[in-house]
Every structure is written in structure tokens, then in C-alpha cells.
Chains A and B, each alone.
Chain A
Amino acid sequence: MERELKYVGKRAVRIDGLEKITGAAKYTDDLDFGPSMLYVAVLESPYAHAIIKNIDTTEAEKMPGVRAVLSGKDFPEKFGLYLKDNSIFPADRVRYIGQQVAAVVAETPAQAEAAVKKIKVDYEPLPVLQNPLDAIKPDAPLIHPDLGKYEVVPWLYPQPGTNIAHVRKIRKGDVDKAFKEAEYVLEDWYHVPHVVHAPIETHISVALYSYDGRLTLWNSTQSPHTQRNIIAHSLKIPHKNVRVIASYVGGGFGGKAGISMEVIAAVAAMKVPGHPVKLRWTRKQEFQNSSQRQELYAHIKMGVNKEGKIIALKHELFWDVGASAEYGSNVVNATGFSATGPYYIPNVYIDSFAIYTNRPPCGAYRGFGYSEFHFGLESHIDRMAKIIGMDPVEFRRKNAIQRGQPVAYGVEMNPTGILECIDKVAEKIEWGKENKSPDPTKVRAKGFAAVWKAPAMPPNESSAAFLKFSEDGSINLLVSGMELGQGFLTAMAKIAAEELSLPLEKIRVELPDTDRNPYEWQTVASHVTWSCGNAVRRAAIDARNQILDTVSRAYHIDKANLYLEDGKVKCYTDPEFELPFEKFVIDGIEMPDGTYRGGPIMGHGMFMPEFTSAKVNPETGLGGHPNVHYTTGAGAVEIEIDKETGRIRVLKMAEAFDAGKAINPDLVEGQIVGGFVQGLGTALWEEVKFDENGRILNPNFTDYKIPTALDVPRDMNPIIVEVAQPDGPFGARGIAEHTMIPVMPAVANAVENALGIRIKDVPITPEKILNALREKGQENGN
């Protein structure tokens, strides 16, 4: 019998709402460290690629207020998440403009800045590579000549002697044969440029090293435990002595996953024991030296048979991962496994290349590469539907992958509500219904896309939870997932509330502190609701069992007859029996002889997806189980284009995602709307522009435009679909990143439906529209 849920799936005010709305919420820069605080400033490379011949810090060291000067001479260590190719400070060569070459610790920010200017560096410029299609050529200059020497996880395959940091291949069936048999074949290129996360809070780290060898960091981070691990490992400090404390994060989107500038604060602190040191990125540094989203050149060849079934897909992905692939290599890996999109395709050939260039390092970005490859794929799907004369929504329905069908690497697809998502979006956007603009210079049309995404994680990622009761029957729930705004704290509280039948007001969920809270791999991959949610659920069940044991022993009631309700223990066989938690969860239960039974109730739980494996055949991608499951969804837009100016306005959107079970339905809707708008930015405006030397031309919000309240559709329709994930907490799976994925292709498809022009390169600017219209006019001879 299904238990009726009281908290999970019900609407609620988010538990961090009050703090954030009153301004009480503390972000890292809001913490006070007193007058002994010192400040770090960083010397940035002016070259995108150069040998460092000499660094002279003598003059800088003599500047007023300076306490320490650091460079690659002091800290030559390499670091990285999956591939240790990144430098704290490069000792021998710089690889992108803005890369930190040295740093100064001083008493005021101004003194640190002034001293940085006195550091002298001799560079010998090298050829600059900015295009992955050039960098992959056999005769291209090498950006990492030591690629073969770096430490790397076993499931990535760097190619020493090239600029290829990793290649993921899938070979399933026989694509060449299938292309011959196909009735229709379409082949083309698509391009997605670099974009940035642009959280409103820039990166910030405060570090304190004490003489007893303890290093404490206060970071704005998605990854406290992973940062602790990387720092401890790279700097050879025992893990127990490294402590990472996370305050609220002012926007992450993947940019604060893993580690970047925090290592600079860590080593700076080690030079000035006893003093907290602060490093806060300026907006410009946030653009050039945190991480960006990979640029992608994608080549797609698709074959479809007479019945409208996709029988072959060749998808080649050339990713510009920038100067370091320490994190981005896994984006390339994950998308290599999944570049079929949410379709069942019997013959698949995928090559996904991580290619070094002299651009800033790229890493995790909401969507983890799926937005980029879906742009090409879902554009291609629409074009193919037109070629075969089938409605594009129908074409997607016909090919959508179903539960039990094999994905490209052979594993069976998990339960999925993809058809329901497609249908609900089609209904909401009124697919097929024409809507004319009252203004004759404007055209309206709709565009559609279907998507999927799996969390990209090492096979042994894990989450843990610890739950302790207090005298009044309230609990502190300790986890190390991060509240990034997605509603993590509220979701965890609800899961515990449900299992313990304890009102939400009685539950406090703490932000991470690696000394206090148990392990969490990272808050990435939209996986914490699922993974950490499972750990919390187990911790709550553990606590419940302890409660029932204690009460059963003390009252001689069979455990099976006891249950929890509203913070009390009750009994099926004795309706009079009622024992509130506060009566015993710390102090125990008094027996007639004056002795006590029980003691403090503390639940713990952990979760690791023990069924996953990254051990696959590197040549085929087959043989392992690299992903836990896929979340599917669909999105559509209705746009209006001004034919004279080329300007696009999105009038309406609908997006549906299969959340399995929406723990916080209103926050899931918030994710859909927010993710859509972030996607809209990348569809219409956002692009990091570089000059020929590799310098970013638009590192600010005036020249790099992100959506404002005026730019977004007035009619936004988030839709939740729930086909339970069998191993998810209450059936839940993640949706937060996914919401961004349909937008670029949906807009491009709408543009074609409006004007008959196909834009294969985002963002879809008015200029591109007008150029395409002009070309089309010339083709038509007018």
C-alpha cells in the first residue's frame, strides 16, 4: 500500500527563504575576519601562450605593506579534478591571457595591487591556438608537451604528443552500412561559442593557515569536500588538517564546482600563518580566470529509413576545453556517451574530442555539455523531419527512447516520461496552431526540442548524511550538498520530515563544513536530490529504527505495531499510546525500577551507486555502466521576429521535465523558468568574444549581455512530469541543469519555421538573421 505523503511533493516556503529575503543570509564576503586580515592580488599573464623565462619579485617584495610574494618557484604543484594538468602558478609557461603567474599578499587590497605591478616577468611568446579544429591538426604546436606525464583517472585517455586531452568513442552497430540502407541522409556542422556562468557573486576565498599546520578555507563553492581533497593531495597536507567551510553561494551553475582560484588563497595563506587572507575575483577575472563553457564544433550525419526511424547517427564533437582539461575532459567524456540525444538509434558512431587551446580553462557549466550538443542534434532532427515530410514533434515521438531499450553504450534505458513531456509541451504551446502577428513586419512561429541528460560522475561518487536529535525532538541534519538556490536544503528537510513524520519547522539543515558535516562528492550533475536524498532517507530510517527499538524495548510492544506520526511514536494496537519524541530522544525512557532505556538518537546514512562502472572498451565505449540514469524532457518556444531589424522576441515558452517525483514542486518550476532564461541568454545574446591574441573583448555585463526582466517571455509554462526513478528518494531524479538544454535548438527551429532560414551558429543575433535573409533572397533571385 502506498503511504500518503505529507511533505514530499507538497508546496512549501523554502527553508532558506527568510534568511535570504531579510538579507541575513551570509555569503563568504559577508563574513568578518577582523583587522589581521590580509589581501591577495594576482599578476595575470598578458600572453595567451608564452614561455616564462624569468620572474623577478625583488622590487615587489620591498613595496609597502607587502607580506609575501608567491610564484611558480614556490608552488610548482599541479592540480586538477580528473586530469592534473593545471598549475597553481605556472613555472614554465603561460597558456591563456589572465592566467595567474604570481601573487602578492599585503595589508590592503591597494597595496597588493601596487606591488603586483612591480613583479617583472620575461616572456617568450609562442604561437597562439584559438580554434580547436586547428589545434587538433597533427602539426599544431603543443600546449601541454608533458601531457603524458600528468596524473589522470583511468577512464580518460590523454593523447601525448597532440593537443587532445581526451577522446571518448562510441561504436555501436555499423553506421556505414546503415547510411547506405537509409532512405534519407543529412550531414552538417553546428557551432556553439564559449559562454560564461556569470553568477552575480564572483568567486571568493578566504584562507587561514595556523602554525599547527591547519588550513581553513571559507569558500563560495559547490564542492567543499572535493576542494579539501584536491588541496590536501596537491599540497601534501593531511586531510584532517584541511577544513572547508561553505557559506551561501551567490550562484554557481557549475562555475564553482571543483576548484580554481581557491588554491591561490590556500598557498597564499601558507606564506603568512596566523593571518586570514582574502582573494575575491573582479568581474573581469570571473570572465577570464574561473572557467567558461566549452566551445563546440559538431559534425552530424544522420540516416533515416522509409518509416521515419533514425537508423544511423555519426556525431563528431570537437570541444575547445581551453588551456586546462582538468574538469572539462569529463564534459567531453559524458557527452561522448550520450550524444544520441533521447532517441533509440541502432547504429551509432561518436567521437568526442577534448582539445586544448590558449583560451581560459573550461569546465562544468549547467548542462555539462548537453546544451551544446543538443543544439546541433535537435536542429538536425527538425531539418530531418522536414526532409521526410513528417511533423517534427511526431518524428521525435516516433524515435524517442523507451524504458528497456539500449542506449548507445548498451545499457538499458531507465523509466522515462519523455513521451508525456513531449505531449504536454506540444499541448501547452499549441503546436500546429498558427498565430499571426498583428504587425505585418513581424512573423511568429514555434520551435520544439526534446532532450535528455544523465549526471556525469565518477562511478564511486557518494553522499552521506548525519542526523541528530535534540532534547526538544528537533533535529539538525548534517549533509555536504550545497544550497545553490536550487532548493537543496528544503528537499533534504522534506525527505527527513517524511521518513520521520516530523514537521518541517523541527528540522534544520546545515550548510557544509568539512569538519562537521559528512562527506559529499560535489553539488554538481543535478544529482544531490537523488544521491544525497538517498543518504538522508537512509539516515532518517536509521534514526526511526533506533526510536522504534528503544520504545519497543521499554514498553514491550512489538516494533511492527509502532509507527511515527507528527513527532510522536504511536501504536496500531493501542490507540491510547502516544510518546512524543521530546520525551526520550536524548534522555531515554524511565523504567519502573528507575533505570533508563535508550540514549541520544543519531541516524546516519550513505549512498553510492554501486551498479556503475567506467570500465569500458576505449575503442567502442561498450561494456560498462557509465551513467546512473537519464532525466528526459522537452521544450518549445513561440517567437516573433521583426523582419526589418532581425530582432527576436520569445513570446511564450513551455518546458516539461520528468522529475520522477518533484520533492519541491514549486522549486522545480522555479528551476524550469530560471534554466530556460539562462538558456535564452545563450540562444540570443551570450558569447565570449576574443581578439586575435586571445584576449577577451567583453568581460563585463555591458558588453556581455545576460537576460534582464525585460528580455524574458511574458508567458512561461513550467510542467512537471513524474515517472518514478526506482532508486531515487520517493522516485526523484534531478532536473535543474536540464531546463537550459532545449532552448538554443528550440529557438533555432522556430526561426526556420518563421523565415525558412537555418542558423547553425548561436547566438542567433539580428545580424545573423538579416544576413541569412539576404542570402536567401539572392538564392531566390530577388
Chain B
Amino acid sequence: MKKEINFTLNGNPVKIEVMPNEKLLDVLRDRLGVKSPKHGCGRGECGACSVLLNGKSIRSCITLAIEVDGQEITTLEGLEKNGMTELQKSFLQHNSFQCGFCAPGMTITATELLNKNPHPDEEEVREAIAGNLCRCTGYQNIIDAILDVSKKE
């Protein structure tokens, strides 16, 4: 019942056999060793597992691996291929995260936002990251860091 799929992962071609019910998150983490997307709920509710599918953020815990056949997947590992992004540098300077568990998912979502809308206002930032739960920070330092990037250039 296994099916071979081909997709681009962080710019590199991947060929792998998957079961039809295998979740993308599990394939990325357990079979391909890409550990930045995290398992927080497994139900699409927390955003910790967010990755980019052709540039659009999705929840990899509720996405079947077979669905990404022929598509392009980007995780944090891909975003920082050429060094930390401006957004990551800003997160660092703002001490944006505490436990850090939500950071990869949050970074994916914020990256998507800044790609679509390079100069969002505060409410647009809040709106964009509202699906990424963070239990530690109260979000303020995350939002400030994103807004800082949006003010640059």
C-alpha cells in the first residue's frame, strides 16, 4: 500500500515511500530528520508544526504526506540556509521566545506574512499569528520583533 512520493524539501529533491495515512509531520521528523516542526497537539490547533507548502503555511500534523507529492516544502532549516534571516535576528534581539517550543512554527507563519505583506501593522501581525499558540511569552516580544522587521527597508 506504500506509495512513492517526490517533493522538494528546503530546496532539495526528496523521494520517499509513505503509507497513505502517514502525516507529513511524522515523515519530516521521524523519517527525514527535519526536527524544527514540533508536535504540540496533532489536531491542527496549535501551529507548532507549521511548514510552508509552496510558500503558504500549513499544519503538517494534519497534512497527509501523500498530499505534498510534487510540491515544495520549506521548514525553518530551509529558511536559514544562507544564514539567519532578518526576522530571526530580530527575534534574537527582542528575546522573543522563552521555552522556544513555538518558535519554529511562529517563524514560519511570520515569514509567510512578511513575504505577502512586508509592512504589516500591529493588528495584521496579531491576526497572522493568532493560530500559533505560545503559552510562555504573552506574544508581545514576538510581535515587536516582527514589527521591527516590517519597519526596515
A residues engaging B (CB < 8 A)? 13-14, 16-23, 25-27, 29-30, 32, 197-202, 248-253, 280, 282-283, 484-487, 666-667, 670, 673-678, 700-702, 706-710, 712, 714, 716
Shortest C-beta distance, B115 to chain A (Å), equals 18
- Given A676-B138, A701-B133, A251–B101 Cβ distance below 8 Å? yes
Contact-residue size bin, chain B (C-beta under 8 Å from the other chain)? 35 or more
CA distance A487 to B99 in the complex (A): 9
30 CB contacts below 8 A, A to B, read A14-B95, A17-B95, A17-B97, A22-B76, A23-B35, A23-B80, A23-B107, A26-B35, A29-B38, A199-B99, A199-B135, A200-B133, A200-B134, A201-B38, A248-B100, A250-B99, A250-B100, A251-B99, A251-B101, A251-B136, A283-B41, A283-B42, A487-B98, A673-B137, A674-B98, A677-B139, A678-B135, A706-B135, A707-B138, A714-B122
Nearest CB in chain A to that of B137: its residue: A674
- Given A282-B42, A712-B140, A23–B103 Cβ distance below 8 Å? yes
Q: In the complex, identify which listed stretch (B1-9, B52-60, B66-74, B123-131) lies at the interface while the others stay far away.
A: B123-131
Most chain A CB atoms below 10 A, which of B136, B139, B141:
B136
Whether B50 is near chain A, meaning CB under 8 Å from some CB there, is no
New A-B contacts (17) at CB < 8 Å, excluding given A199-B101, A485-B100: A20-B100, A21-B103, A23-B36, A23-B77, A29-B39, A30-B29, A250-B99, A283-B42, A283-B43, A486-B98, A674-B98, A701-B41, A701-B43, A702-B43, A708-B130, A710-B127, A712-B139
Are B91 and A674 in contact (CB-based, < 8 A)?
A: no
Are A709 and B139 in contact (CB-based, < 8 A)?
A: yes
B 65-120 contacts with A by CB, 8 A: 75-77, 80, 84, 88, 91-93, 95-104, 107
CA distance A252 to B100 in the complex (A): 12
B 25-49 contacts with A by CB, 8 A: 29, 33, 35-36, 38-43, 45-46, 48
B residues engaging A (CB < 8 A)? 29, 33, 35-36, 38-43, 45-46, 48, 75-77, 80, 84, 88, 91-93, 95-104, 107, 122, 125-127, 129-143
Residues of chain B contacted by A23 (CB below 8 angstroms): 35-36, 75-77, 80, 103-104, 107
Most chain A CB atoms below 10 A, which of B126, B133, B135:
B135
Nearest CB in chain B to that of A249: its residue: B99
Are B101 and A670 in contact (CB-based, < 8 A)?
A: no
CA distance A29 to B98 in the complex (A): 18
Residues of chain B contacted by A670 (CB below 8 angstroms): 95, 98, 137, 141
CA distance A700 to B61 in the complex (A): 15
- Given A200-B48, A676-B138, A709-B126, A485–B99 Cβ distance below 8 Å? yes
CA distance A250 to B134 in the complex (A): 10
CA distance A668 to B131 in the complex (A): 26
Residues of chain A contacted by B29 (CB below 8 angstroms): 29-30
Interface pairs A-B: 9 shortest CB-CB? A485-B98, A20-B100, A250-B101, A485-B99, A23-B36, A677-B138, A701-B45, A673-B138, A23-B76
Are B133 and A706 in contact (CB-based, < 8 A)?
A: yes
Partner of A484, one of B99, B102, B129, B137: B99
Are B101 and A200 in contact (CB-based, < 8 A)?
A: yes
Shortest C-beta distance, B2 to chain A (Å), equals 14
CA distance A666 to B104 in the complex (A): 22
Partner of A21, one of B40, B88, B134: B88
Nearest CB in chain A to that of B97: its residue: A20
Are B38 and A27 in contact (CB-based, < 8 A)?
A: yes
Are A253 and B43 in contact (CB-based, < 8 A)?
A: no
CA distance A248 to B93 in the complex (A): 20
Are A21 and B99 in contact (CB-based, < 8 A)?
A: no
Most chain B CB atoms below 10 A, which of A13, A20, A198, A709:
A709
CA distance A32 to B34 in the complex (A): 11
Residues of chain A contacted by B77 (CB below 8 angstroms): 23
Residues of chain A contacted by B135 (CB below 8 angstroms): 197-200, 251, 253, 678, 706
CA distance A350 to B144 in the complex (A): 45
Partner of B95, one of A249, A666, A701: A666
